[in-house]
Structure 1
Amino acid sequence: MISVSEQKSFDQRFSLIRTLAPDKVLSREEQTRLTIMDAGVGDFFSCFGSTYFIQEINTYQEASEDYSKLMDYFVTELTCLCLETGAVGHFEWEIDDELEVSITLDQTKFKRLTDDQGEPIDEDDLDQIVADEDRIVYAGETFEYDDDWAAVYRRDGKEEQVYMYEFVNDRASMFLTIEEWQDGDKEEYRIYISKPVTPAEVTLISRGEGEP
């Protein structure tokens, strides 16, 4: 017997699958021509053999360190429901000379991170890690410092300030991002592991009817 939450998830996905009517499916030419940049809320796309329904689209816009000035660099975040598993995940895309896409694999905590000497780290170490361009180790993988930047995050017409600390593991082709969210006089930290996706692996397959 399945739980109430599992039944609810199944019913939601079944309802969404029923909206994939033949007249909504894009032609082969459109699927080839369109990219993740053309996707909107309520659309469906496939990637890595799974089908995703886009629930939300939000953006990060780069800002000066004191958030007084906005830059012309954006990262677009897609919150997606996987129809096969019921899991909610995130894809991101940006233009950095060319289209770059990534998928979030996991969310973790500081207690699972160390420096390259095996010593634990926390939020108080971030400024020094950036100054030294130091490494962070997660699950046996070493991530090199890559960049840090301020951003304004926009969701549902609201804006939040977030500071990004980015690290990369070229060998395993993975990213580690520490997000410092401002909440009044306090900060909240969210840590994500992600990996790049070849843009051509994302195929927009149907224009949906929006959120059910």
Structure 2
Amino acid sequence: MISVSEQKSFDQRFSLIRTLAPDKVLSQEEQARLTIMDAGVGDCFTCFGSTYFIQEINKYQEASEDYSKLKDYFVTELTCLCLETGAVGHFEWEIDDELEMSITLDQTKFKQLTDDEGQPIDGDDLDQIVEDEDSIVYAGDSFDYDDDWAAVYRRNGKEEQVYMYEFVNDRASLFLTIEEWQDPDKDEYRIYISKPVNPLELIFIFRGEANDERA
């Protein structure tokens, strides 16, 4: 016997799958033409053998450190439902000379991180880590400082300010990102592990009704 939450997840996914009418499946030519940059809410794509339904599309826009000026650099975030498992996954893409794409693998906390000497760290240590360009260790892997920047995050018509700290492990091809959300009452940190994805791995198979004109 499955739980109520499992049944709800199954019903939601089954309902979405029923909307994937055969006459709406994209041709091979259309699949080859579309990239993640063409994504819209309601679209479906495959990646790494799983099928994803796009539920939300939100954006980070780079800003000056005091958030008074916006810059011409964006990271687009796709919140997707995996139709096979019911898990929610996040894909991101950006243009940095060329199209770059990543998938979030896990979310963690400061208690799982140390500095390169094995000492625990928290949000108060980040500015010093950036100044010294030190590394952060997670699950035995060392992530080197790569970049830090301020951003405005837009979701459902609302804007939030967030400061990004980015670290990279070239050997394992993994990214560690610490997001410091600028809440007026209390800073909130969200820490993610992600990996790069070859954009050719993502193949659109179905366009939502709102995006038919772009297919």
TM over 0.5: yes
Partner of 1:150: 150
Task: Report Cα offsets for 1:142-201 as digits up to 9, x if no partner.
Answer: 000000000000000110000000000000000000000011142100000000000000
Q: How many angstroms apart in 1 are the aligned matches of 2:26 and 2:103?
A: 23
Counting matched residue pairs gives 210
Distance in structure 1 (CA, Å) of the matches to 2:9 and 2:128: 44
- The question of 1:195 aligning with 2:209 is answered no
The superposition leaves residues 27-57 of structure 1 with CA deviations (integer Å, 9 ceiling, x where unpaired) of: 1001001101101000000000000000000
Distance in structure 2 (CA, Å) of the matches to 1:185 and 1:54: 32
Q: Distance in 1 between matches of 2:7 and 2:136?
A: 40
SS at match of 2:120: coil
Check the 8 A contact 1:19/1:209 in 2, yes or no: no
> What secondary structure, in the 3-state scheme, does the structure 2 residue paired with 1:7 have?
helix
Aligned to 1:55: 55
4+ runs deviating over 6 angstroms: none
Q: Is the 8 A contact 1:57 1:76 kept in 2?
A: yes
Identity of aligned residues (%): 87
TM-score by length of 2: 0.96
Structure 2 equivalent of residue 2 of structure 1: 2
**Which amino acid in structure 2 is aligned with residue 91 of structure 1?**
F
Secondary structure of 2:78's aligned partner: strand
Task: Give how far 1:93 is off.
Answer: 0.3
The equivalent of 1:42 in structure 2 is 42
Alignment of 1:170-189 (within 5 A): 170-189=170-189
SS in 2 for 1:66: coil
Quick one: which amino acid aligns to residue 23 of structure 1? D
Amino acid at match of 1:68: S
User: For residue 103 of structure 2, what is the amino acid of its counterpart?
Assistant: I
Q: Equivalent residue for 1:139?
A: 139
Instruction: Give the gaps of 5 or more residues in structure 2.
Output: 211-215
CA drift of 1:209 comes to: 4.0
SS at match of 1:186: coil
Q: Identify the residue that residue 30 of structure 1 maps to in structure 2.
A: 30
- The corresponding residue for 1:89 is 89
Residues in 2 aligned to 1:89 and 1:48: alpha-carbon distance in whole angstroms:
12
Residue 72 of structure 1: aligned partner = 72
**Is 177-186 or 134-143 further displaced after alignment?**
177-186
- Find the aligned partners of 1:156 and 1:90 in 2 and give their Cα distance: 16
C-alpha root-mean-square deviation of aligned residues, in Å?
A: 0.7
Could you tell me which runs of 5 or more consecutive residues in structure 1 were left unpaired when the two chains were aligned.
Answer: none
Distance 1:200 1:58 in 2: 22
Mapped to 1, the partners of 2:57 and 2:88 lie a distance apart of 13
* Cα-to-partner distance string for 1:30-85 (whole Å, 9 max, x where unaligned): 10011011010000000000000000000000000000000000000000000000
